[in-house]
Amino acid sequence: MRIFVKRRSVINTLFWVILQSKRGELMSLKNSMHLSGHRALITGAGQGIGEACAEVFADRGADLILLDKNRNTLPRVADRIASKGVRMVAHIIDLTRTNLLQKLIEEMQAERTIDILVNNAGFDRPGVTAKTGKEDLNAVLGIHIGVPFLLTKWLLPEMRARRWGRIVNISSVYGLSGAKGEAAYCTAKAGVIGLTKTTAREAGADGVTVNAIVPGLIRTPPMIKLPDKYKQPIIDQTLLGRMGEPVEVARVIAFLASDDSSYITGTTITVSGGWGI
């Protein structure tokens, strides 16, 4: 009986040690993916992928600056994020108004460091090359490349000085493959990848990582409105056979913003359900 009790005691002790070890591993994983102590600026935060990023980042403890020009959607998102108890400010702003944007960034930087940047805002003006006007081209390039370029330019120096920073740019499968009738959009999204790789080369030695997400067909408001005759062929070419959800993209962005991605920079991560591989 004594031998049995002793063996049972040893087994219980070993079980406790293993359990504590597993708990430690889980806590380590949770902490590494956590974003507490960081301040993230997310553009296009009023809907779609940007809104999902705000949710995921808030759940992981990040302080947030949410920017969008949509007066209807951003306040709703901001109210929901504020209820989570994180530090958050939201500004309705046209990101292409450079002087206003620069002034806002300077005010935000004066308050506290911004060490995570998610360049998500964008829109599309479809058209084939021969029929795409200069105004439409410049508008699409301005929001997809011009705004990320300027925000990176303004925020990167402080990230480099602090030797920690994360920049995540949003490209598209069309930025890799091209697409008929999307001359301006495809050009812009390809440019996002070029900006990503160039900035990564400039900032890597200072501990700043810069990566691009390449989403496929994601259930964002514009894609929901897209007629089925355009969506279904893409879904048919998607290995998982469905549209992606914004949160599925946001979780990858949050990973790239965390310490778990510390050895990943200058690359693209495709979140497309297998479309475009």
Give the pLDDT band (50/70/90) at residue 12: low
The yes-or-no verdict on residue 27 having pLDDT over 70 is no
What mean pLDDT comes out for the span 241-256? 98
Residue 94 CA to its chain's centroid (Å): 19
Q: Higher model confidence: residue 198 or residue 28?
A: 198
Alpha helices by DSSP H, the chain: 2-33, 48-59, 74-82, 98-111, 134-141, 147-162, 173-177, 183-203, 221-225, 228-237, 246-257
Catalytic site residues? 185
Residue 245 and residue 218: Cα distance in Å, rounded?
Answer: 6
CA dihedral 253, 259, 261, 265 (to 10 degrees): 90
pLDDT digits (tens, 9 = 90+) for 181-232: 999 999 999 999 999 999 999 999 999 999 999 999 999 999 999 999 999 9
Write a three-state SS string for 71-121.
CCCHHHHHHHHHCCCCCEEEEECCCCCHHHHHHHHHHHHHHCCCCEEEECC
141 pLDDT higher than 70 = yes
CA–CA gap between residue 56 and residue 77 (Å, rounded): 12
Q: Order across the sheet with 208-215: list the strands.
A: 88-92, 63-68, 39-43, 116-119, 165-170, 208-215, 268-271
As given in the structure block, the two tokens for residue 268 are: 């693209």
Give residue-wise pLDDT tens across range 109-118: 999 999 999 9
Does residue 2 carry a pLDDT above 90? no
